[in-house]
Structure formats: structure tokens, C-alpha cells
Chains A and B, each alone.
Chain A
């Protein structure tokens, strides 16, 4: 088994409270599925979509957003899976996909040999 990071990018935030509640329920159900099938390593953390960027030797500072809205990272999760293929299959269950976002699946490099 290896670790993988799911990096969530750019999704539409629902406007209505009712839709928000539905969205939370979808995510909770998906996380629960990952937990119960033994794939969840760490639910990870959400990131605010604002912020700043420090760049280059001159340390130029600019305010967010940093990329196209669809590319902004909104959070990450750590899962365990047998290989990239399985991790990618798991990512297909993510509710973000129905609201215009994407999941990047990245193998975590093992820290030890």
C-alpha cells in the first residue's frame, strides 16, 4: 500500500443554504466510504481561496487569486491505495466532480527507502 494525496481544485460554491447542506452531506458520505473501506489516511484540510504569493529573489508579493479560478487549490486529503490506478478510481467518487472541480491524484514519495 502507498499513500496518495488528493488535491482539490476549483469548484463552484453553492449559493443557497440548502445546496450547501446537500454538498456537505455528499462529502461526508464520500469520506465515510473511504474510511470504511480502509483507504482514508487523513481527511486533510481546507484552504481559503484568498491569500498572497511571494515570488522570486526579489520577493515580489502579490495578492491572490493566483491562477484561474478553476485551478485554485481548495484543500487536500491523504489516502492509501495499492497503486495509482486504484487511487484514481477512488478519486472518481469525489463530489467535487459534479460542481465543476477536479481532483489531482499524486503519489506521496516514501520518506524512507
Chain B
């Protein structure tokens, strides 16, 4: 039999998560060695003899034996998971304990536990997602570095530092205590959101890397959805947002790897199944009274996917959602997106006005799509020389060949003055969250939050939320938008 796609990666994450429970989080390096060793064996044997009937079982059994060896060898030298120490110290209980710990049914919990453990609020967000990618998704340091477009050494350092912090936490996060689970949940959602964004909007020019990161984020958020508490409305909204965005991935780049603006995408290439899934999730997300920033972003994505032609886009609705998002997550990038939506709704003059009105727009100085947006609106006003200068400035800031190509195309459009077609839907290219890559020039665009350390507004019960009325209206609109959307359209 052939292994399913990314089988090794996912098995790696599962085994590391399970074995860490036995060895203790402070022995993560040892765990990784044991798992790596089991994988090398699998590689050599399967190369010659093909995959066994039950490859997961094979890997688990091999890792278990390697783990037992390591435990026997190191029992005196190392301390293992404190809660298991007694069983593991007694020789007769050793094998039975390990057996019990590695039952298949436990694996999903192990993954979740590891996911929560990787998301310590004291850890930098880019360290959290690097760690998730490395230990939970089985990306090697090189692969993680290439996904984040940073050099290997920087990524190695980031992961090592994160592992050290994880080790210092002594025990894995306990997902069975509801209060702690709920408290950590926003941080986990935020990390998954950033992981997805890195794939969707990050600087990596390779289409393959992008879709891989998006797929991993969707896989992990699905895991979260399956948990009774994890599947709260904001998680549904986050998953919806991911699906609605990922649905457009196939149309987002042409054969040559060039970025295609939303207005020019071949909408028949959008993934209908993912759109339908996104709609279902958004429906679930809108059932309660809770409204999160993910609802708003999913709502924006929904406005884009639910129309067959770009000119039918409801920019009024989109501006309204950006208004809310800006209140909830004030950041120059969100403001820039809102300004672009205003330009789409009210024309280029208003768009430029809105851009110039962004209070902290100096933070956008290093962001290529800031001058690009200015260029776009100048272009629409037929001020071609201004437009060209802005696009040139943007080109100088481009972070990868894909952006460079896109922007130099716009420069030459200004120079010929011939091409009349507009690159509408810039917000699609822009992204909403600052890119998370350490090496990304978008550093310094960090969002100023309204004091929620956890990265997400508190739930809205009891009318304590400052914009409760607006929230409620937005939620109602969102529900209507979902109802009006025909996923098969």
C-alpha cells in the first residue's frame, strides 16, 4: 500500500505528543530522538518490503519499544513525567504503563494537549507557531524555515528557545480542567489563525508551501472543533474563515506562480466543497450570541465568495465589517484594508482620503501594499505618473518574486497607460493580519489591542462589551448573509 499524503508528518506529531506524556515535557529532546529512531527504522524496512498492513501500529509499536529501551537505560539518570514517575520506576509496571499510555484512543487528546502546551501566552506568537509546526506537524527545522522565509539558524534558535520554555513548564497542559482550557483557548485559536495566515498571506513565494501551511492549520482547527469546549462559536468562525479563504487558493496564482487579484480570479476554480464547509461552519458560529474578530473576518471572506462576479461584491457590507474589525482590532493594516474597501465602494478619491486619514500610517512605511494601494487609486483616477511612482515605491519594498512580479506589472501598466482593467479586491492580496514571519518586513505593524492579552475580545454576555448593539446587528447580518448564500452557486 501507498502511504497517504503527509502520513509521516502526521504520525510524527502524534507519536511525539503521546510519548511526551510518558517522558515528560522536559524530555522532549529524548522523545524526538526516540520517534526519529522509529522513523528511520520504518524508512529502511519499508523501502525494501513496502508498507505493512497497519503502518500506524507498526510505528507506534516500534516507538514504544525504543521508548522502553530508553526508559530502562535512562531510568536512573533522568526524571520522567512526575505523575508517572512511580509506575515507571518499577520494572514490572513499566511495560504495562507505557502500553496503557499509548492506546489509540488517547492520541487525539495527546495532540490537543500538545497544541495547548505549545501555546503558552508567555511565549512569543511566532515561537508558538514554529513549535506547533515542528513538534505537532512534523516539519523539520529546514522546512519550518522555508515556510517562514527565514534562515535555518534563526528558525533553529526560535524552536530551541520555544522548546526550552516548554520544558520549563514541567508538565503538559491539562486539557481536562475546563476553566484552564477556556482560558488558554483564545491563545490557541490565535496561533492557528497566525499559522493559517502565514500560509495564506505570508512571504513565501512557493504555492506548495502556502497550501501546506493552510492545510495544517485546518487540520489542527478541526481537531479543536471536535472537542466539546474547543468547538465554541469563535472556533467555528475561525475554521469557517480558513475554509472560505483556502477555497480560493487554487485560483490565487497562475501557472507561473503570479499573484492574481480577486477581481481577476477564475471563480470556477474556487473549491466549492470548501466554500460549502465554510458556510456550514459559519452557520454554527452564528448560532450563539458570541461574536469574535474571526466572525468578522469570515464575514468579509463570505462577502467575497458568495458573489459570482466581482462587480456584484457588496462593498457596503464589507466596509461595515471592517469598521467593526477596526474597533475590535485597531491596526494600521486593518485600517488600510478598510480604506481600500471604501475606495471600492465610493470611488478612488474617497479611498485615498481614507488612506490619508489612517492615524498611525507611518507604521505602514515598510509595507509594500501601502504604496501599492495609493498607486491603485491614483491609477483609477488616471493620475498615471503618481500611480507609477507609488508602484515603484511598492516595488522597492517587495518581499518576494511573486510580489515583485505583480508590482512591476502595475508599473508597466502605468507607463503604457493602455491597460484599463482594474485590480479590484486588493484586500484579498493584502491580508488583514501582519505577516508573522520573524524575517518579515511587516514587523512593527503589530496590532495594538484593546488590552486583551489573550488575543481576542472577551465573550459578550451581560452587555459588558462596548459595542454590544453593533455586535448584535453584525451577527444578525452575518446570519442573513449565510442564509442568502448558495454554496452551489
Find out whether the CB atom of B48 lies under 8 angstroms from the CB atom of A18. Answer: no
Write the A10-23 contact mask toward B (1 if CB under 8 angstroms, else 0): 00011111111101
Find out whether the CB atom of A16 lies under 8 angstroms from the CB atom of B143. Answer: yes
Q: What is the CB-to-nearest-CB distance from A22 to chain B, in angstroms, rounded to a whole number?
A: 9
Alpha-carbon distance A37/B2, docked complex (angstroms): 20
Find out whether the CB atom of B48 lies under 8 angstroms from the CB atom of A46. Answer: yes
Alpha-carbon distance A29/B145, docked complex (angstroms): 30
Given A13-B43, A16-B138, A18-B138, A44 and B6 touching (CB < 8 A)? no
Q: What is the CB-to-nearest-CB distance from B49 to chain A, in angstroms, rounded to a whole number?
A: 6
Give the residue of B8, B46, B48, B142 whose beta carbon is less than 8 angstroms from that of A17: B8
| Chain B residues closer than 8 Å to A88, beta-carbon distance | none
| Chain B residues closer than 8 Å to A75, beta-carbon distance | 44, 48
User: In chain A, what residue has the closest Cβ to B45?
Assistant: A46
Alpha-carbon distance A43/B45, docked complex (angstroms): 11
Q: Is A25 an interface residue (CB 8 A)?
A: yes
Find out whether the CB atom of A23 lies under 8 angstroms from the CB atom of B48. Answer: no
Give the residue of A23, A25, A46, A48 whose beta carbon is less than 8 angstroms from that of B2: A25
- How many contacting A-B pairs (Cβ < 8 A)? 66
Q: Is A66 an interface residue (CB 8 A)?
A: no
Most B CB within 10 A of own CB, among A24, A31, A74: A24
Find out whether the CB atom of A20 lies under 8 angstroms from the CB atom of B39. Answer: yes
Number of B residues with CB within 8 Å of any CB on chain A: 26
Alpha-carbon distance A58/B441, docked complex (angstroms): 67
Alpha-carbon distance A19/B142, docked complex (angstroms): 11
Find out whether the CB atom of B143 lies under 8 angstroms from the CB atom of A45. Answer: no
Which B residues between 24 and 58 are near A, CB-CB below 8 angstroms?
Answer: 36, 39-40, 42-51
Given A17-B8, A18-B143, A20-B43, A43 and B138 touching (CB < 8 A)? no
Number of A residues with CB within 8 Å of any CB on chain B: 23
Q: What is the CB-to-nearest-CB distance from A65 to chain B, in angstroms, rounded to a whole number?
A: 15
| Chain A residues closer than 8 Å to B51, beta-carbon distance | 24
Q: What is the CB-to-nearest-CB distance from A24 to chain B, in angstroms, rounded to a whole number?
A: 5
Alpha-carbon distance A2/B45, docked complex (angstroms): 26
Interface of B is mostly: helix
Q: Is B467 an interface residue (CB 8 A)?
A: no
Q: What is the CB-to-nearest-CB distance from B45 to chain A, in angstroms, rounded to a whole number?
A: 6
Most A CB within 10 A of own CB, among B46, B47, B50: B47
Which A residues between 60 and 98 are near B, CB-CB below 8 angstroms?
Answer: 74-75, 77
Q: What is the CB-to-nearest-CB distance from B152 to chain A, in angstroms, rounded to a whole number?
A: 12
| Chain B residues closer than 8 Å to A48, beta-carbon distance | 44
Give the residue of A13, A18, A31, A45 whose beta carbon is less than 8 angstroms from that of B8: A18
Find out whether the CB atom of B3 lies under 8 angstroms from the CB atom of A21. Answer: yes
Q: Is B378 an interface residue (CB 8 A)?
A: no
Give the residue of A24, A74, A77 whose beta carbon is less than 8 angstroms from that of B3: A24
Alpha-carbon distance A15/B196, docked complex (angstroms): 25
Q: Is B9 an interface residue (CB 8 A)?
A: yes
Alpha-carbon distance A77/B9, docked complex (angstroms): 28
Q: Is B173 an interface residue (CB 8 A)?
A: no
Find out whether the CB atom of A23 lies under 8 angstroms from the CB atom of B43. Answer: yes
Find out whether the CB atom of B6 lies under 8 angstroms from the CB atom of A24. Answer: no
Find out whether the CB atom of B47 lies under 8 angstroms from the CB atom of A24. Answer: yes
Find out whether the CB atom of B7 lies under 8 angstroms from the CB atom of A21. Answer: yes
Q: Is B12 an interface residue (CB 8 A)?
A: yes
Given A21-B7, A46-B44, A16 and B49 touching (CB < 8 A)? no
Give the residue of B9, B36, B40, B47 whose beta carbon is less than 8 angstroms from that of A27: B47
Find out whether the CB atom of B8 lies under 8 angstroms from the CB atom of A28. Answer: no
Give the residue of A15, A21, A43, A44 whose beta carbon is less than 8 angstroms from that of B140: A15
Give the residue of A17, A31, A46 whose beta carbon is less than 8 angstroms from that of B9: A17
Find out whether the CB atom of B138 lies under 8 angstroms from the CB atom of A17. Answer: yes
User: In chain B, what residue has the closest Cβ to A21?
Assistant: B8
User: In chain A, what residue has the closest Cβ to B212?
Assistant: A18
Write the A21-58 contact mask toward B (1 if CB under 8 angstroms, else 0): 10111011001000000000001111010000000000
Find out whether the CB atom of B43 lies under 8 angstroms from the CB atom of A16. Answer: no
| Chain B residues closer than 8 Å to A19, beta-carbon distance | 140
Find out whether the CB atom of B143 lies under 8 angstroms from the CB atom of A43. Answer: no
Given A17-B8, A17-B11, A20-B8, A46 and B47 touching (CB < 8 A)? yes
Q: Is B139 an interface residue (CB 8 A)?
A: yes
Find out whether the CB atom of A77 lies under 8 angstroms from the CB atom of B39. Answer: no
Alpha-carbon distance A14/B3, docked complex (angstroms): 17
Given A17-B8, A17-B11, A21-B7, A28 and B47 touching (CB < 8 A)? yes
| Chain A residues closer than 8 Å to B12, beta-carbon distance | 17
Alpha-carbon distance A13/B39, docked complex (angstroms): 10
User: In chain B, what residue has the closest Cβ to A32?
Assistant: B50
Q: What is the CB-to-nearest-CB distance from A41 to chain B, in angstroms, rounded to a whole number?
A: 13
User: In chain B, what residue has the closest Cβ to A18?
Assistant: B9
Which B residues between 126 and 148 are near A, CB-CB below 8 angstroms?
Answer: 138-140, 142-143
| Chain A residues closer than 8 Å to B3, beta-carbon distance | 21, 24-25
Given A21-B3, A24-B3, A13 and B48 touching (CB < 8 A)? no
A13-B43, A17-B140, A23-B43 are known; give 11 further A-B pairs, CB within 8 A. Answer: A15-B142, A16-B143, A17-B138, A18-B8, A20-B40, A20-B42, A27-B47, A27-B48, A43-B49, A45-B48, A46-B48
CB-based closest 9 A-B pairs: A16-B140, A17-B8, A46-B44, A27-B47, A21-B8, A17-B138, A17-B12, A17-B9, A20-B43
CB<8 Å pairs between A and B, sample of 9: A17-B9, A17-B12, A18-B9, A20-B43, A21-B7, A23-B43, A43-B49, A44-B48, A46-B47
- The chain B residues found within 8 Å of chain A, CB to CB, are 2-3, 6-9, 11-12, 36, 39-40, 42-51, 138-140, 142-143
